[in-house]
Amino acid sequence: MPSILRKLLKLFFVIYFTVILFGCWSENNEKIVIKVSHNGSHQHPHQTGFEKMSEILEKETNGRAKLEIFPSSQIASEEEAIEMVKLGVIGSTPASSGSLSRFVPEVDLFNLPFVFDNLGHFYEVLDGPIGDEITKKIEKKLDCIVLGWWFSGIRNTWNSEKPIYTPKDLEGMKIRVIGSSIVLDTFNAFGAQATNMSFGELYSAIQQGVLDGAECDHIDLLVEKFYEVTKYVSYTEHLYLSVALIFSKKQFKKLPEDVQMALLKAGQESIKTQRNAMESKTREALIELQKKGLVFNTIDKNLFREKAQIVYAKNAERVGGMSLIDQIVSSKK
């Protein structure tokens, strides 16, 4: 059976059983319960963000509306959840730029290597005119409302063989990257053999020597126990991962007007809480990873930036043009 057909059948059954078991949203004694999904654990900043959002929603509606949160991909994978929001099967999901880029190619703008200098610059772009333009494209293509932009960590490169200081150290290494063609291009440009292998298969692939390493944030490195099968973490900081908090337009239209307004407010107020949680939990994860014996090192970032120029040239037109990229780069402080 062709892979695309398998994916469609899987999505059909996920949607069917979700509707049967959970429904899109429900009203019990006039209480509106909105189903939301994310791929993090109960301790993940995404959970923290949704809990804050539900708290504000309940407060603003005097208890008439709340969220029912399904973490750890209980309902669906991240990409399946994006489809389900588009179809109105669930209310909301945090969609990372890695997964979103498969639906909205322009989102890959935020996945360009080293396009952001620091967190302040990252937030400024997401919350400014460029973020607004990308938001419009997401809303149009996914029939959704973007409630705001969350943060999913700064990604670094790790492996079980040796510290990475220069692109030459990565040559020939088999590295797993997120599902963005630009991140795939980036690591190939660095000299690695990049692959988009499923995240769920990564631990065993490293353990069995199928892959040499991967790129991810500190929280995933700790929670998924990758420290058991790796040794070296290099601060490439090639990607600040953006997350659009998307809400189904189909569901939104069915809500009473006062609940709609409360939902928009709750989504906005969740942003600071989620971002702060991501930042603090990242610091905590680093301390724990150091205790586990992982070895961290800085890199010669200029050498990596030189290699990355080919990625910009190849993908500029697809993500909005060099002038748009230059706007981000020139806004660095």
Query: How large a percentage of the chain has pLDDT more than 90?
Result: 89
How would residue 172 be classed by pLDDT, with cut points 50, 70 and 90?
very high
State residue 9's pLDDT score. 53
Which residues, other chains included, contact 173 with Cβ-Cβ below 8 Å and sequence gap of 6+? Answer: 159, 161, 191, 192, 193, 212, 213
State residue 30's pLDDT score. 74
163 pLDDT more than 50: yes
Number of structural domains in the chain: 1
- The phi and psi torsions of 277 (rounded to 5 degrees) equal -65, -40
CATH code of residue 108: 3.40.190.170
Nearest to 226 by CA among 297, 151, 140, 285: 285
State residue 10's pLDDT score. 52
CA distance 11 to 246: 19
181 pLDDT more than 80: yes
Domain range enclosing 91: 3-330
Interval 288-312: pLDDT, tens? 999 999 999 999 999 999 999 999 9
State residue 17's pLDDT score. 45
Interval 213-264: pLDDT, tens? 999 999 999 999 999 999 999 999 999 999 999 999 999 999 999 999 999 9
CB 95, CB 135: distance < 8 Å: no
User: Is residue 51 classed as helix, strand or coil in its secondary structure?
Assistant: helix
**Chain-wide mean pLDDT for the chain?**
92
CA distance 206 to 65: 44
User: Is residue 24 classed as helix, strand or coil in its secondary structure?
Assistant: coil
State residue 22's pLDDT score. 43
Interval 189-210: pLDDT, tens? 999 999 999 898 999 999 999 9
Which residues, other chains included, contact 197 with Cβ-Cβ below 8 Å and sequence gap of 6+? Answer: 176, 205, 211
State residue 306's pLDDT score. 97
Place of tokens 């703008």: 109
